Amino acid sequence: MEIRDLGTFLEYWESVFARTTRLLRVLPPEHIEWTHAEGRWTIGDIARHLVNIERDMYAETVAGRPSRYAGHGRSYADGYEAVMAFRAARHAESMAIFALLTPERLAGKSVTPAGTPITTWKWLRAMGEHEAHHRGQLYLMLGMLGVRTPPIYGLTEEEVAARAHRAVTD
């Protein structure tokens, strides 16, 4: 998928962020710092990481500046409500930066933290893959906690299969 139209990308990215936020909203607040094993990232760590990477790495680099990503610890936001507010604020900052991208900038190069030049629209596409990777972790962690999670696109796998079965038998 090549990103040619900034407005389309901004709508897409808002929907990606909203899907992750919708997932975090079903988390019982007392589990924000839960992890499945000692020394592993907590749910809060992942939530903070996603917006810090979005803002301090992706938004900075597509604006032509070096990454300033410095981590995801509780010092950024501690507690469920603080994490959710932090996510909203950081995401808004990122969207303001993304909204300034020109067609030339989208087609031009950004430099990754590793120093590798990459076409800006491809770097933004990688941001979506990164978000999906961590959202998958969140689904798994919530499942381990026994939390019922929302389907990502409106139907559960079972509902999709049932509809397909009905369509074949009708």
Q: What are phi and psi of 24, to 5 degrees?
A: -65, -25
Q: What is the DSSP string of 85-150?
A: HHHHHHHHHHHHHHTT--HHHHHSEEE-TTS-EEEHHHHHHHHHHHHHHHHHHHHHHHHHTT----
What is the per-residue pLDDT across 74-107, written as a single tens digit (0 to 9) for each? Answer: 999 999 999 999 999 999 999 999 999 999 999 9
What is the per-residue pLDDT across 124-154, written as a single tens digit (0 to 9) for each? Answer: 999 999 999 999 999 999 999 999 999 887 8
pTM: 0.92
Nearest alpha-carbon partner for 147 in 138, 156, 159, 134: 138
* Contact present, 55 and 93 (Cβ < 8 Å): yes
Nearest alpha-carbon partner for 102 in 144, 150, 63: 63
